[in-house]
Amino acid sequence: MFNLKSCFTAAYSPESNGMAEALVKTIKRDYVYVSDCESAEMVLSMINGWFEDYNQVAPHSALGMKIPIEYLLSIKNG
């Protein structure tokens, strides 16, 4: 439904796990905890919007307070 693909990293690779854990923490903090999540159906109806906001609206401190798309374009355009 969300076109997610499995991604397996090497065993005992804390760097990869840390990135995933940071994403989960951010999604919970910025979206889940402030939303009305009474059921799985409600969460599924909102999750696409959360990821759209995360990727296209919300600035990220690790990216110099740019949104991910803006940051990728700045890298591409040098």
Confidence of residue 49 (pLDDT cuts 50, 70, 90): very high
Q: Mark 9-31 as b/e (b = at least 16 C-beta within 10 Å).
A: eeeeeeeeeeeeeeeeeeeeeeb
Q: Which is nearest to 1 in space by CA: 44, 55, 49?
A: 44
Q: Which carries the bigger pLDDT value, residue 35 or residue 8?
A: 35
pLDDT over 90 for what percent of the chain?
A: 46
Determine phi and psi for 63, rounding to 5 degrees: -110, 25
Write down the residue that tokens 């696409």 correspond to. Answer: 48
The pTM assigned to this predicted structure is 0.69
Confidence of residue 46 (pLDDT cuts 50, 70, 90): very high
Q: What is the pLDDT of residue 16?
A: 67
Question: Using CA atoms, how far apart are residues 40 and 46, in angstroms rounded to an integer?
Answer: 10
For residues 44 and 15, the model is more confident at 44
